[in-house]
Amino acid sequence: MADIRLTVDGSPHVVASATTVGAVLHGLGVEAVVARVNGEALRDLAWVPGDGDVIESVPIDTDEGRAVLRHSTAHVLAQAVQQLYPDAKLGIGPPITNGFYYDFDVERPFTPEDLEQIEGRMRKIVKERQRFSRRVVTDEDARKELAEEPYKLELIGLKGGAADTEGAEVEVGGNELTIYDNLRRGAASEWELVWKDLCRGPHLPTTGKIPAFKLMRSAAAYWRGSEKNQQLQRIYGTAWESEEALQAHLDLLEEAERRDHRRIGADLDLFSFPDEIGSGLVVFHPKGGVIKRVMEDYVRQRHIEEGFDYVGTPHISKQGLFETSGHLPYYADTMFPPMEMEGSNYYLKAMNCPMHNLIFRSRGRSYRELPLRLFEFGSVYRFEKSGVVHGLTRVRGLTMDDSHSYCTAEQAPAEIQHLLSFILSLLKDFGLDDFYLELSTRDDSSDKFIGSDEDWETATRVLEKAATDTGLQLVPDPGGAAYYGPKISVQAHDAIGRTWQMSTIQYDFNQPAGFGLEYQASDGSRQQPVMIHSAKFGSIERFFGVLTEHYAGAFPPWLAPVQVTCIPIRSENVEYLDKLAERLRGEGIRVEVDDSDDRMQKKILRAQQQKVPFMFVAGPRDVEAGAVSVRYRNGVERRGVPVDDAILEVSRNIAARLVEPDALNPDALVPPESATS
């Protein structure tokens, strides 16, 4: 048998021909679940390499390795469901962030008891160490083998896959159509077919390589994400490389549930989503309105300081505006249906940039005006599918702190650096200081992106250099660009390590051309400006939701809706605290006096539950001394603080935008166990 030469994880090796990649890696003592071949496709370990191939091992504890693990576990889920419910028809079952799902057409929704039973059957399949075996099939053969699976037959007809409501494309083939057989050792130690599924793969070598998994929940989901299609039942699960990793994930989910902004929003009376208004449309209550106003005031002032002019535009527009901008037809599916009025179609505004272009175009512009920076709090409306609407983080009505910089091509690099510095300083002021950058570029989807190759190359190079110059990690995102140009997005980690896409900067050379935007250059010629989109919050609603979860509702003093709660020990101390509250309001501090008939301990508990940063507690001795006890929401207390010092402390915390209340005199702190009870 002839030998072949391979490069494995960067080192040259000679092996016998017909040796599987799994055997090659095993012989080198390398643990892997799949392999990347020649820098491109991932392959099963049963794949046989050829002479000169370059192989990279993919361990299970990498992003790609976990995706293969979760995809394989999804297939075990589908097999278990069909064993328990033989009439169940299969939809799709891809890996998703931190887990997987599979869709089924069944007679009734799954119950929690069903999931327990299904999980038990899955564990049996894992113990059987069934082998995943890949077969290439023709369309005709696939249709014959899967004749009882109507959804799989539809996928075969599509030749590519189905849209996944989690935001990804689920492919079943590509250049070739494949079926994976699940094989089990029979009585004569021969492999026998147990189950099969149409799938692109790759998969783990056997089900026994699945270390740890858990089914999480079930939900309704429309086939291929369209309300026009059959409603299926989706089972979600998660799978990890070890029991320890699984438990860590479950602990994180428990903490995330505790921080869920929807629950906190209700507990703290910040906002709600009345059914009478409609899905994805939020109502801010007075306390939530305070936080929203402070956020708006801050970012409005910052924009003015950074050289932006504040503008305002309407909520609706004629259809032609969005055709000129290019948003129709690219964004038609996420725009609310048009309204016919006076012979014209009007759309609810889904983006602000077209109207800002009209402001730029409203009169002649000179190079001396550039960069021209326009900013507004623009209310936009996007028809998100009901399955993805989620609290404040995915809404249908949102307010964007949207800005657009019009500049010369030569000014663009400096303008982008200016915007990045602005954004990063803003996020730090809100306590988000752990982030990286993502560069979204175009791919080969020629029907999605417009503009010349030269323009795309120039825009991408400018963004990449500006991002690199920050010194932050830069992660590529091929294919993630908007249709009109590449973008940088800031990906921020919250207090429990989750990643959120926050601010964005987009380089646009297409809309200026579409709108015929021009400025007079220094030589008298007419030139087209570059347009740079930027959103600092992204949307106020989403940023509000992220902050709520980041702080678990315990907002920094400068953002807290109530910054001080005054608590009298006795009813006769109320008048003293009322006068103190007036002084606080005069200093611009948000304050409440709890003059209810409840006991002092209950008032303190209530203020702590409302996550108020400061409590001023006063009894007869405090009144006599002109002092208060300053109690912090963590239970620590300072006693006998002169009123002037207490007010100064609160004011200093607010002005410094400190994340947690910080005492002026730490030596005076009393630990919670010895504080006022």
Side-chain half-sphere exposure of 305, counting CA atoms within 13 A: 9
Of 248, 118, 144, 122, the C-alpha closest to 198 is 144
Tokens 């207390």 found at: 637
Tokens 């690099």 found at: 413
Q: Where are the alpha helices (DSSP H) in 430-557?
A: 453-469, 511-514, 540-550
Tell me the C-alpha to C-alpha distance, in Å, between residue 469 and each of 316, 464, 486: 39, 9, 17
Residue 552 contacts by C-beta under 8 Å, 6 or more apart in sequence? 258, 259, 264, 495
Return the CATH number of 271-550, one of 3.30.930.10, 3.40.50.1100, 3.20.20.140, 3.40.50.720: 3.30.930.10
Whole-number Å distance between alpha carbons of 322 and 511: 10
Of 295, 314, 267, 288, the C-alpha closest to 392 is 288
Whole-number Å distance between alpha carbons of 405 and 511: 13
pLDDT at 663: 58
Q: Which residues pair with 405 in a beta bridge?
A: 373, 532
Q: Give the type of residue at 311.
A: V
Q: Give the type of residue at 361.
A: R
pLDDT at 662: 66
CB distance 77 to 235 below 8 Å: yes
Of 499, 448, 381, 485, the C-alpha closest to 169 is 448
With b meaning 16 or more CB within 10 Å and e meaning fewer, what string describes 12-32?
eeebeeebbbbebbeeeeeeb
Whole-number Å distance between alpha carbons of 319 and 339: 10
Q: Give the type of residue at 88.
A: A
Question: What is the mean pLDDT, run by run of 10 residues, along the chain of 677 residues?
Answer: 88 93 94 94 94 95 96 98 97 95 97 97 97 95 94 81 46 72 84 93 96 96 88 97 97 95 97 95 97 96 96 95 89 90 93 96 96 95 88 94 95 95 95 93 75 87 93 91 88 92 92 95 96 94 96 96 96 95 96 95 95 96 95 91 95 89 52 43
Residue 188 contacts by C-beta under 8 Å, 6 or more apart in sequence? none
Angle at 24 between CA 18 and CA 25, to 5 degrees: 150
CB distance 379 to 397 below 8 Å: yes
Whole-number Å distance between alpha carbons of 391 and 260: 9
Count Cβ atoms below 10 Å from residue 600 Cβ, excluding itself.
Answer: 17
CB distance 561 to 290 below 8 Å: yes
pLDDT at 480: 86
Whole-number Å distance between alpha carbons of 341 and 56: 60
Q: 63-255 in CATH: which number?
A: 3.30.980.10
**CATH fold of 3-58:** Ubiquitin-like (UB roll) (3.10.20)
Q: Which residues pair with 233 in a beta bridge?
A: 104, 220
CB distance 198 to 179 below 8 Å: yes
Structural tokens at position 59: 């361990």
CB distance 90 to 124 below 8 Å: no
Whole-number Å distance between alpha carbons of 84 and 80: 6
CB distance 191 to 139 below 8 Å: no
Structural tokens at position 518: 């021009």
Tokens 């696939």 found at: 142
pLDDT at 247: 97
pLDDT at 185: 87
Structural tokens at position 630: 């300053």
Count Cβ atoms below 10 Å from residue 338 Cβ, excluding itself.
Answer: 17
Sign of the CA dihedral 241, 245, 251, 253?
negative
pLDDT at 412: 94
pLDDT at 2: 81
Let me know how long the chain is.
Answer: 677
DSSP 229: S
- Could you tell me the residue ranges of all domains in the chain? 3-58, 63-255, 271-550, 564-674
DSSP 485: B
**What architecture (CATH level 2) is domain 564-674?**
3-Layer(aba) Sandwich (3.40)
